[in-house]
Amino acid sequence: MLEETIAAIRPADARALADARAHQDRLTKPPGSLGVLEEVAVRLAGAAGVSPPPMPVPAALAIFAADHGVHAQGVSPWPQEVTQQMVANFVAGGAVANAFAAQTGATVTVVDVGVAADLAPAPSLLVMKAGYGTADLSAGPAMGVPQAVQAVESGISVARSLVEGGARCLITGDMGIANTTASAALISAFTGKDAALVTGRGTGIDDETHTRKVAVVRRALSVNRLGEPLETLAGVGGFEHAALAGFILGGAAAGVPVILDGVIAGAAALVAQALAPAVADHCVAGHRSAEPGHAAALEHLGLRPLVDLELRLGEGTGGLLAHPLVCAAVRVMHEVATFDSAGVTEKSG
Ligand SMILES: O=C(O)c1ccc[n+]([C@@H]2O[C@H](COP(=O)([O-])O)[C@@H](O)[C@H]2O)c1
Ligand SMILES: Cc1cc2nc[nH]c2cc1C
């Protein structure tokens, strides 16, 4: 399933990109006046292979949840049970992600890919466990490569079934206490940036904890074999990173744009990009997280974040906030009159 998905991912279509740029310049606005939004619409045209690209509606958010053995190293101020408690909150509709999803009309699917407990069944909860939390990545591999592949394929199948159900835009979400440690390790491994530059304060840690967290990330990078992308993922990643990498690949393979949330999605997108370099052509960076590794990941992916509101929540919140901007960018391509059709005189010279 993974190989077939990677093989189905096409780079941006050059003809659709050129058509979209030309169309932007015929619309009744000074060329370039919509700034970054013009580039977003052009990107989506390239990804879809047609200009104008389809409207990215309806949108579907998938929140992948998992626990992390590295929590035992004291890298997060929150107890591990918060992961399962927040999953229950998502399912009950009480989290920020639920409010933002309602605001933009996105559906919410919650996927347990490795929470360290069995959760109460619910219609909006998919149970696709690759384990009950990872092993401590600072002591050895977080998971086996077969487990990583299983979680990646879970993400692919969630993307596929959302698209089969009618979704025309996928938004990444995550939940996992201590997952900013794994994110920093993945980002350092894939970008080559030093651990100290990409390790942040996650949910809010003091200086002493941050120093320990940087050391934990360094240890993770030295005790694990960092070679093939799946080996690196299995060594220092989390089950939600694996599933998110699959979700991103699955959306790209299905020809549906994927709006990335924060640092966890950024780390997962690096895995996806290492497996299928063209995948970034199908992604939009919803926002830039306050977590320092996120900017490094986005730079490596060649993506420019749409909003920067100093968010550091995860759950898909930054991706959800960007969705109306992406919709507006595409709507312009469908509805705005051209200089010819509206009889507006073009600039001279
Ligand atoms: O999305 C982000 O950029 C982001 C930045 C900081 C924290 N988070 C969320 O906070 C949790 C991880 O934080 P921590 O401090 O436990 O590693 C996890 O549930 C993430 O969704 C998310
Ligand atoms: C309360 C809480 C909510 C979250 N949502 C995503 N990560 C989170 C971490 C905490 C601690």
Q: What is the ipTM of this complex?
A: 0.99
Residue-wise pLDDT for 12-70, tens only, equals 999 999 999 999 999 999 999 999 999 999 999 999 999 999 999 999 999 999 999 99
Local structure of 147: helix, strand or coil: helix
CB burial class (10 A; 0-12, 13-18, 19+) of residue 225? exposed
- Tell me whether residue 39 is one of the annotated catalytic residues: no
Q: Structure tokens of 193?
A: 């940036």
Amino acid in the structure at residue 232: T
Can you tell me which residue has the tokens 């120093």?
211
Beta bridge partners of 61: 108, 171
**Measured from the CB, is residue 312 less than 6 Å from ligand 1?**
yes
**How many other CB atoms sit within 10 Å of the CB of residue 54?**
16
How remote is the CA of residue 30 from the centroid of ligand 2, in Å?
Answer: 43
pLDDT value at position 165? 98
- Domains of the chain in start order, with CATH, are 2-54+332-342 (1.10.1610.10), 59-326 (3.40.50.10210)
Q: State the DSSP H helix or E strand holding residue 170, giving kind and residue range, or none if neither.
A: strand 169-175
Among 240, 313, 315, the mutation site with the greatest number of ligand 1 atoms within 8 A of its Cβ is 313
* Interacting residues of 174 by C-beta distance below 8 A, sequence separation 6+: 63, 64, 65, 240, 244, 261, 264, 265, 314, 315, 316
Running DSSP on this structure, what letter comes out for residue 71?
A: G
How far apart are the CA of 270 and the centre of ligand 1, in A?
A: 17
Instruction: Give the dihedral of Cα atoms 101, 155, 68, 267; nearest 10 deg.
Output: -80
Distance CA 90, CA 148 (A): 25
Kindly state if the Cβ of 266 falls inside 6 Å of ligand 1. Answer: no
Evaluate: CB of 261 within 6 angstroms of ligand 1. Answer: yes
Q: Whose CA is nearest to atom 5 of ligand 1?
A: 312
The answer, yes or no, to whether any atom of ligand 1 lies below 6 A from the CB of 314, is yes
pLDDT of residue 178: 98
CA of 19 to the centre of ligand 2 (A): 43
pLDDT digits (tens, 9 = 90+) for 261-277: 999 999 999 999 999 99
- 231, 315, 335, 346: the catalytic one is 315
> Residue 178: what residue type?
A
Give the per-residue pLDDT at 349.
72
Cα dist from 312 to 119, 203, 318, whole Å: 25, 7, 9
Nearest ligand (C-alpha, residue 179): 1
Q: Which helix (H) or strand (E) holds 65?
A: strand 59-66
Mention every residue, 6+ apart, whose C-beta is less than 8 A from residue 95. Answer: 86, 89, 315
Q: Which residue has the tokens 């939004």?
A: 37
pLDDT in tens, the chain (349 residues): 999 999 999 999 999 999 999 999 999 999 999 999 999 999 999 999 999 999 999 999 999 999 999 999 999 999 999 999 999 999 999 999 999 999 999 999 999 999 999 999 999 999 999 999 999 999 999 999 999 999 999 999 999 999 999 999 999 999 999 999 999 999 999 999 999 999 999 999 999 999 999 999 999 999 999 999 999 999 999 999 999 999 999 999 999 999 999 999 999 999 999 999 999 999 999 999 999 999 999 999 999 999 999 999 999 999 999 999 999 999 999 999 999 999 999 988 7
Ligand 1 atom nearest the C-alpha of 82 is 19
3-state secondary structure of 28: coil
**Is the CB of 136 within 6 Å of ligand 1?**
no
Amino acid at 175: M
Look up residue 198 and give its amino acid: V
